[in-house]
Amino acid sequence: MSEAAYNKGFPVSWEQMHRDARALAWRLLEKGPFKGIVAITRGGLVPAAIIARELDIRLIDTVCVRSYSDKTRGDLEWLKDIKGDGTDMLIIDDLVDTGKTAKAVREKLPHAHFATVYAKPLGREIVDSFVTEVSQDTWIYFPWDMELSVNAPISERVR
Ligand SMILES: O=P(O)(O)OC[C@H]1O[C@H](OP(=O)(O)OP(=O)(O)O)[C@H](O)[C@@H]1O
Ligand SMILES: O=c1[nH]c(=O)c2nc[nH]c2[nH]1
Ligand SMILES: [Mg+2]
């Protein structure tokens, strides 16, 4: 297990996720057509649904892997595999960080187009398309991992 140093936070709202996934769909329009989407669970599920709607794709499959527990990276655990080599398929994940998940899925589906909404420097070369890059020491907080809560006024926080 290893835990990278994440010094910064990048919170993403539902609205921003919708906007960024749609921006990715615009980029993917000229890379297709794709006969189906492979979503990498769980983070790829929401962007895959948005992109499937925008690109009118009805065939959606999954590869199920787990690599992080909280912010600690463990060994890649395969829970569900997929058949084929990825020809004419679009792989969607929420982000690429170290690139280990993307590399493993790419090995299974070498002919697919791999797209993520967000990318960090170590992983960006492994994916074919992404929308927004953040620094390697940034942890991205997704809307499904957050809830509205009350925060203290700034004046109280600097006392
Ligand atoms: O580039 P890497 O360093 O491999 O990290 C990126 C992967 O880590 C996260 O998934 P995670 O395994 O935490 O599971 P989740 O999608 O269910 O949250 C994220 O959704 C990517 O799939
Ligand atoms: O929610 C997440 N945010 C991240 O920045 C990240 N990197 C790997 N896995 C991640 N999960
Ligand atoms: Mg994931």
Interface confidence, given as ipTM, is 0.98
Instruction: State yes or no: 62 annotated in a binding site.
Output: no
109 touches ligand 2 (CB under 6 Å): no
Neighbours of ion ligand 3 (CB under 5 A): 43
In this predicted structure, the answer to whether residue 22 has a pLDDT above a threshold of 70 is yes
In this predicted structure, the answer to whether residue 45 has a pLDDT above a threshold of 60 is yes
For the chain, what is the total number of helices (H) and then of strands (E)? 4, 8
- 93 noted as active-site residue: yes
pTM above 0.90, yes or no: yes
Chain segment 56-108, per-residue pLDDT in tens: 999 999 999 988 777 777 788 899 989 999 999 999 999 999 999 999 999 99
Chain segment 97-148, per-residue pLDDT in tens: 999 999 999 999 999 999 999 999 999 999 999 999 999 999 999 999 999 9
How far CA 156 is from CA of 50, 85, 150, 152, 153, in Å, comes to: 40, 56, 13, 6, 5
Residue pair 55/29 in contact by the 8 Å Cβ criterion: yes
Residue pair 83/106 in contact by the 8 Å Cβ criterion: no
**CATH fold label, 10-133:** Rossmann fold (3.40.50)
Average pLDDT of the chain?
94
